[in-house]
Amino acid sequence: MFEVSGSRQGIEVTTELCRTRGRIIVVAIFPEPQPVNLFKFFWREIQMLGVRVYEPDDYEEAIILAGSKRIPLGKLITSVQPLETISDAFHSLDTTPNNLKILIKCSD
């Protein structure tokens, strides 16, 4: 399981959703320290790993994986918005829980 939101709610839900003996990979940068349910870590034998640095091989592997279409990446995109509405797009991400990713179209 990956935590990429950097939100309090995101890190809280990771210990609820992670399977027994699962692994939580923290990619997000949190602006402030967050509490974590250590009882869940103990009881369900969860591992947590923080990642911050990407190597060139990581990018190459991600590009190959995305190109293989084995993962339905299109389902992650909530909508595509024109550059002129970028303020509305950010507001929508903050206020609408169902929005996952909004792409900003910079040119035609």
**Domains in the chain with CATH codes:** 1-52 (3.40.50.720)
pLDDT of residue 58: 85
pLDDT of residue 55: 83
pLDDT of residue 94: 83
pLDDT of residue 97: 77
- The low-confidence residues of the chain, meaning pLDDT below 70, are none
Whole-structure pTM value: 0.54
DSSP character string of the chain: -EE-S-SHHHHHHHHHHSPTT-EEEE-SPPSS-----HHHHHHHT-EEEE-----HHHHHHHHHHHHHT-S-GGGGEEEEEEGGGHHHHHHHHHH-TT--EEEEE---
pLDDT of residue 92: 87
